[in-house]
With several copies, the nearest count.
Chain A
Amino acid sequence: MSVEVCTSYDEAVADVADGSTVLVGGFGMAGMPVHLIDALIRQGATDLTVVSNNAGNGDTGLAALLAAKRVRTVICSFPRQADSWVFDGLYRAGDIELEVVPQGNLAERMRAAGAGIGAFYCPTAVGTPLSEGKETREIDGRTYVLEYPIRGDVALIGAHLSDRMGNLVYRKTARNFGPVMATAARTVVAQVDCVVETGEIDPEHVVTPSIYVDRVVPAGAREEVPA
C-alpha cells in the first residue's frame, strides 16, 4: 500500500479533532516535527492532550501550541527547562494539566499501546512520589509498579527518509521517540527530509515499517496561511 504523500503540512493534519491525544516526537530539536506542529496551530484543534518528552521550548513549536491555549493536558518527562516559560506560566496559572512520567515509562507505555500489551510491571519509580496511588507487586523479590499504555489518536513525528510505501529511516539521535510513537497512534504523520522511490531503502535498514505510517510530508511542502 502506498503512503499518502502530502503536498502541504496543513493537509497532513487537517483531520485532527478537538480533544485528541497527540503524540509529538523529538528530543530537543532532534526529530521534532516543527512544521507539523505549526500546521496544527493553524488548523485550530483544541482541548488536546499532548504526549512528548518536553513541554515546549522558547516561543515556537510546542510552546506556541501551548501559548495558543490548545492544550488541556501535557504528558511528558521533563517540562521544566531553562526556556520553558510558556509552559511554566500556564502551569503556575493553573491553565494546563501536567502528568510527569519517567522517560523510560513514557517510551515503554507507548510501546505497550503499539504492541497490544494491556499493562506491565515496571521497576521504575518504586517508592517515589511518581508511583503514589499506583498498584505495586513483588515479583521474584523485586517490587514493580503497574503501568498502563499511552495511546495516541495522532502521532506527529520527524524522520529522515520515507519511501512511497511509508517505510521510514531516521538520522542519528533524531530517531528517539519517532519509531515508538509510530506504533502507538491511530493516525501517524511524519515530516521527512525527502520521499524516495520504493525500493531505495534497503529492507534491512527500515526502522519504521510502512504499516505504521499513514501520511508523509517532504521538506519544502506548502504552509497554508489560513484565509
Chain B
Amino acid sequence: MTTSQTTSQTTSQTTSSPRTKHEIAAAIAADVAAAFPRGAYANLGIGQPTLVADHLPPGSGVVLHTENGMLNMGPAATGDEVDPDLTNAGKIPVTELPGAAYFHHADSFAMMRGGHLDVCVLGAFQVSATGDLANWHTGAPDAIPAVGGAMDLAIGAKEVWVMMTLLTKDGTPKLVPECTYPLTGLGCVDRVYTDLGTFEITRDGVTVRDVAGTTVEALRDLLGPAVLPG
C-alpha cells in the first residue's frame, strides 16, 4: 500500500473560517486538474466535474470530450459566442477550440465505451471500497429515474475519477464498504478526489494518495476498516 502523506497544494489551506460549498468544490477540482496527464482526452461529467476545466493549467493540452458529439470543446460561450447548436452535455452553450471534431451520438458513445478516453471525472453519491459507483439515483421511491450517460461514462474511460465531498451534510461517509444507493457501475472507479484526501481504488483495496488538512489515521477512523484497513 503506497500512502503519500503530502497534502495537496490547493486543499491544504483549510485554516480559519469554514469554506463554502463552492470553495470546497473548486479546491477538489483544482486537485483533479493538477493530476491530469498532459494531453489527456477527458470527459468531465455534468455538475461539479465541469469545474475542472477552469483549473487546467495553460498548455495542459487536455482535450475535452462531450458526449453529445464533440471533441476539443472550449470554455462556456458568452455574449455573441452563444450558439444554440453548440452545447455541452449539460446543455450549456460552449465554444469550440481549433482541432475540434463533431460526430453523432452513436459514434460519440462508441468513442467513450470503447475505452478511448483517458480520464472521465464524475460526481457521486457513494463509492464503494471495490470501486462501485452510485451517482444516478437516490433510490427514493418517488424519484423519477433518469440516467443520461452516467452508466456509459462509468464503464467507458481508461480511468474513472470521482470528485465529491467525503462526507454528506450530516457527516456520513460517501466512501463506503458497499453502496446502498442503486449502482451506476460495478468496480469502475479508479480514484476518488475529496475535500479531505484522495484515494486510489486498486485490486488490493483502497489506499490514500494524499490527505488534506487531516491525517490518514483520522480518515481510517472516519471510514472504518472495511474501507481503509490499517
Q: Using a CB–CB distance below 8 Å, which chain A residues touch chain B?
A: 1-2, 27-31, 77-81, 87-88, 91-92, 98, 100-108, 110-111, 113-117, 122-130, 143, 163-165, 167, 170-180, 183, 198-199, 201, 203-204, 206-207, 209-212
Contact = CB atoms under 8 A, between A and B. Distances in A.
Interface string B142-170: 11111111111001100000000000000
B109 A175 contact: no
A27 B91 contact: yes
A79 B146 contact: yes
Contacts of B115: 116
20 contacts: A1-B38, A1-B39, A1-B63, A27-B105, A78-B147, A80-B146, A87-B144, A103-B147, A114-B110, A127-B186, A143-B186, A167-B101, A172-B96, A172-B102, A173-B70, A174-B84, A203-B99, A206-B103, A211-B63, A211-B117
Given A77-B147, A80-B144, A210-B101, A104 B39 contact: no
Interface in B115-138: 115-117, 132, 137
A14 B145 CA distance: 33
Contact of A209 (B71, B152, B182, B185): B71
B85 interface: yes
B127 to A, nearest CB: 14
A27 B87 contact: yes
B85 A128 contact: no
Contacts of B104: 107, 175-180, 207
Contact of B152 (A1, A28, A104): A104
Contacts, number: 211
Given A127-B185, A209-B111, A77 B146 contact: yes
Given A88-B144, A116-B114, A183-B114, A128 B152 contact: no
B68 A27 contact: yes
Contact of A115 (B66, B114, B185): B114
Nearest to B116: A211
A23 B104 CA distance: 15
A175 B106 contact: no
A207 to B, nearest CB: 7
Contacts of B105: 27, 103, 106-107, 176-177, 179-180
A150 to B, nearest CB: 12
The 6 closest A-B pairs by CB, nearest first: A1-B39, A104-B109, A199-B98, A104-B152, A115-B110, A127-B186
B100 to A, nearest CB: 4
B99 A165 contact: yes
Bin the interface of chain B by size.
Answer: 35 or more
B67 to A, nearest CB: 7
Contacts of A122: 113
Contacts of B191: none
Contact of A176 (B69, B111, B156, B185): B69
B109 to A, nearest CB: 3
B120 to A, nearest CB: 13
A167 B96 CA distance: 15
A199 B83 CA distance: 19
B76 interface: no
Residue of A170, A207, A211 ringed by the most chain B CB atoms within 10 A = A211
A75 to B, nearest CB: 12
Contacts of B149: 77, 102-104
Given A2-B61, A127-B186, A203 B96 contact: yes
- Of the listed residues A92, A127, A172, the one surrounded by the most CB atoms of chain B closer than 10 A to its CB is A172
Contacts of A130: 147, 151
A167 B27 CA distance: 34
A116 B158 CA distance: 12
A105 B151 CA distance: 10
A88 B41 CA distance: 36
Contacts of A164: 99
Given A115-B114, A211-B41, A100 B146 contact: yes
B183 interface: yes
Given A30-B86, A103-B147, A124 B100 contact: no
